[in-house]
C-alpha cells in the first residue's frame, strides 16, 4: 500500500514524536509506573506538566504577563457560550464569515443583544468582509480568524476600537500573533495544538468580572483561572499530547519557522489548483486560507468528482473530501502536515489530469 497522507480537517494530523511519547506515557507516565490515563491530576508529576504547558504557550506566542492560558473541556463550541456569558453586558458584534462564526453569534443572541456587523454569506462565505465600521459602544467584536469549511482566513491582527475576541481554533500556532490586541483568544486544540478533548483560552486577566449577570461556576473563566485549569479533573491525555505538540513546535524553530513551512505548503497546492484544468479554487485569492485549501472540479468536469476521490484514495490521500455542507474537496494543511504530503497530493492531481485529458 502507498504511504498514507492525512489531510483531515480535525482531529488533525499530529507530530509523530508527540504520538510516540503519548504511547509511552499511556504505559508509564514520567516513571511513576502509572498510566497517563490513570494518574491523579493532583500529583507532582502532573502539576509539572500543566505548568510546563502554560509556559510553552507563553513562550511560543510571546503572551504578555497580564494574560493567562487555561485549558477547558467542551471544545470551541462551548467557548461560544463562555464568551457571551463572561463579556456580553449590553451589545456585541460578530463578523459572520462562516458556519462556526454564525454558531458563535447564535449562542450570544441567546444571552443578550448581538448582531452580525458584516457577513459574507451572499457569496457562500468565499471572502472576508472588509471596510465595515466598528461602533465604539460595543462590549466586544468577535471574529473567527480561519474558516475551515470555506477556506478563508484573516491573516493579520486587526486594529479594533473595542475589545477584540477571536476564535483561532484552526490557525492558532501557524503565524505570529500580537496577543495584546485581543481581550480573549480561544479555540479547540484539535487542529494545530493537540488532539480533540481540550480547548484553550488565552485571557487578559483584567477583562473579566465586568458583567452584571450571574455566571454559572463552570462557565466563569475566573473559576478556571483561579484554579489553574484544575477546578475539576482536566482532560489529562489531551493536555499531555498538547504539551508534546508544543515541544515539537519549539524544537523546529517555533512560530516563524512553522509559518514559513505552512506558507510554502499552501502556495504549492494553490499553484496546482490554479494550473490544473480539472480543478478550481473556491475562496477569493486574497482571502485564501493557508490552513484549509478548498477546491472543486472545474466547470464541465463535475461528473469526475467521485472518480477523483477514489483515485486519490488509491494513492493514499486521506481526508480530502469537503465539508458535507459544501461538497468538493478540502485539504487541511495543519502544522504537522508536511511538504512531502502536499507534493504527493499535487502529483496525484497531475496524474489524474493526464488520465482525463
Any idea what the CATH number is for the domain that residue 137 is in? 3.40.640.10
Q: Is 111 helix (H, G, I), strand (E, B) or coil?
A: coil
Q: Quick one: three-class SS letters along 174-189?
A: CCCCCHHHCCEEEEEC
User: Mind spelling out the 3-state secondary structure of 224-251?
Assistant: HHHCCCCCCCCCHHHHHHHHHHHHHHHH
* pLDDT confidence band for 200 (50 / 70 / 90): very high
Looking at the structure, do residues 263 and 329 belong to the same domain, yes or no? yes
Q: Are residues 207 and 150 in the same domain?
A: yes
Give yes or no: residues 158 and 230 share one domain. yes
**Are 180 and 319 within one domain?**
no
Which residues are part of the catalytic machinery? 100, 167, 191
2 found inside a domain? no
SS3 track for 131-162 = CCCCCCCCCEEEEECEECCCCEECCCCCCCCC
End residue of a domain, out of 197, 227, 251? 251
CA 54 to chain centre: 18
Q: For residues 38 and 53, give the distance between their C-alpha atoms in angstroms, rounded to a whole number.
A: 19
Residues facing residue 317 across a β-bridge: 5
Answer yes or no: do 191 and 45 share one domain. yes
In this structure, the answer to whether residues 348 and 329 fall within a common structural domain is yes
Do both 160 and 117 map to the same domain?
Answer: yes
Residue 76 domain boundaries = 16-251
Domain boundary among 201, 222, 251: 251
Does residue 289 fall inside a structural domain? yes
C-alpha R_g of the chain: 21
30 plus 179 within the same structural domain: yes
144: β partners? 167
| More confident: 141 or 327 | 141
Does residue 82 sit within a domain? Answer: yes
Q: How far is CA 110 from CA 84, 137, 143, 255, in A?
A: 9, 20, 18, 37
Both 217 and 90 in one domain: the answer is yes
For 136, counting Cβ atoms within 10 Å of its Cβ (0-12 exposed, 13-18 middle, 19+ buried), the class is exposed
Confidence of residue 191 (pLDDT cuts 50, 70, 90): very high
For 215, the 3-state DSSP assignment is coil
Say if residues 280 and 357 touch (Cβ distance below 8 Å): no
1 pLDDT exceeds 70? no
Residue 314 and residue 241 share a domain:
no
**pLDDT at residue 254 in the model:** 98
In a domain, 95, yes or no: yes
Residue 278 clears pLDDT 80, i.e. is over it: yes
pLDDT at 331: 97
177, 185 Cβ separation under 8 angstroms: yes
Mean pLDDT of 220-236: 97
Q: Which CA distances in Å does 337 have to 189, 279, 326, 329, 342?
A: 16, 22, 23, 17, 8
Is 311 part of any domain? Answer: yes
Question: Is 131 a residue whose pLDDT tops 60?
Answer: yes
Burial class (CB in 10 A: 0-12, 13-18, 19+), 217: exposed
229 is a domain residue? yes
Residue 157's pLDDT band (cuts 50, 70, 90): very high
Whether 347 has a pLDDT exceeding 60, the answer reads yes
10 pLDDT band (50/70/90 cuts)?
Answer: confident
pLDDT digits (tens, 9 = 90+) for 282-327: 999 999 999 999 999 999 999 999 999 999 999 999 999 998 888 8
Q: Is residue 357's pLDDT more than 90? A: no
| Band (154; pLDDT cuts 50, 70, 90) | very high
Does residue 130 form part of some domain? yes
Average pLDDT over residues 214-234: 97
Percentage of residues in the chain having pLDDT higher than 70: 100
What average pLDDT is seen over the chain?
A: 97
Residue 50 counted as domain residue? yes
* Domain co-membership, 56 together with 173: yes
pLDDT value at position 49?
A: 97
CATH of the domain at 314: 3.90.1150.10
Do residues 239 and 269 both lie within one domain? no
The CB density around residue 155, as the number of other CB atoms within 10 Å, is 17
Give the pLDDT of residue 232.
Answer: 95
Final residue of a structural domain among 251, 283, 305: 251
Confidence (pLDDT) at 2: 72
pLDDT of residue 279: 98
CA dist 198 and 187 (Å) reads 9
The whole-model pTM stands at: 0.97
| Strand 292-297 versus strand 199-204 pairing type | unpaired
Cell of 79: 467557548
Can you read off the three cell numbers belonging to residue 21? Answer: 511519547
Using CA atoms, how far apart are residues 273 and 69, in angstroms rounded to an integer?
38
* Averaged pLDDT, 346-351: 98
Domains contained in the chain, number: 2
Task: Report how far apart the first and last C-alpha atoms of the chain are (Å, whole number).
Answer: 27
Q: Identify the pLDDT of residue 325.
A: 82
Res 327: pLDDT: 87
Amino acid at each position: 500500500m502507498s504511504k498514507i497522507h492525512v489531510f483531515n480537517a480535525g482531529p488533525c494530523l499530529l507530530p509523530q514524536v508527540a504520538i510516540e511519547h503519548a504511547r509511552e506515557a499511556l504505559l508509564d507516565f514520567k516513571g511513576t509506573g502509572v498510566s497517563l490515563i490513570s494518574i491523579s491530576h493532583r500529583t507532582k508529576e502532573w502539576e509539572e506538566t500543566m505548568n510546563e504547558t502554560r509556559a510553552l504557550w507563553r513562550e511560543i506566542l510571546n503572551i504578555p504577563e497580564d494574560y493567562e492560558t487555561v485549558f477547558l473541556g467542551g471544545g470551541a463550541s462551548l467557548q461560544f457560550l463562555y464568551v457571551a456569558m463572561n463579556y456580553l453586558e449590553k451589545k456585541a458584534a460578530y463578523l459572520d464569515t462562516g458556519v462556526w462564526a454564525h454558531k458563535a453569534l447564535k449562542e450570544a443572541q441567546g444571552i443578550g443583544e448581538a448582531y452580525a456587523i458584516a457577513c459574507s454569506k451572499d457569496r457562500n462565505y468565499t471572502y472576508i468582509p472588509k471596510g465595515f465600521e466598528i461602533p465604539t459602544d460595543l462590549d466586544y467584536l468577535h471574529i473567527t480568524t480561519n474558516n475551515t469549511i470555506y477556506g478563508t482566513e484573516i491573516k493579520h491582527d486587526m486594529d479594533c476600537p473595542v475589545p477584540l475576541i477571536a476564535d483561532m481554533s484552526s490557525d492558532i500556532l501557524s503565524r505570529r500573533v500580537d496577543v495584546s490586541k485581543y481581550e480573549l483568544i480561544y479555540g479547540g486544540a484539535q487542529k494545530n495544538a493537540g488532539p480533540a478533548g481540550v480547548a484553550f483560552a488565552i485571557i487578559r486577566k483584567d477583562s473579566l468580572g465586568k458583567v452584571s449577570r450571574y455566571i454559572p461556576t463552570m462557565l466563569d473563566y475566573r473559576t478556571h483561572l483561579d484554579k489553574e485549569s484544575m477546578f475539576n479533573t482536566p482532560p489529562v491525555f489531551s493536555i499531555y499530547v498538547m504539551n508534546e505538540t508544543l515541544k515539537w513546535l519549539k524544537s523546529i524553530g517555533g512560530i516563524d519557522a512553522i509559518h514559513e513551512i505552512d506558507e510554502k505548503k499552501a502556495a504549492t497546492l494553490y499553484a496546482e489548483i490554479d494550473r490544473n484544468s480539472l480543478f478550481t479554487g473556491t475562496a477569493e485569492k486574497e482571502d485564501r486560507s493557508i490552513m484549509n485549501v478548498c477546491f472543486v472540479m472545474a466547470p464541465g468536469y463535475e461528473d469526475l468528482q467521485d472518480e477523483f476521490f477514489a483515485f486519490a484514495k488509491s494513492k493514499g490521500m486521506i481526508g480530502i473530501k469537503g465539508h458535507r455542507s459544501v461538497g468538493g474537496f478540502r485539504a487541511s494543511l495543519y502544522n504537522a502536515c508536511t511538504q512531502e504530503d502536499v507534493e504527493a497530493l499535487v502529483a496525484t492531481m497531475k496524474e489524474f489530469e493526464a488520465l482525463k485529458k
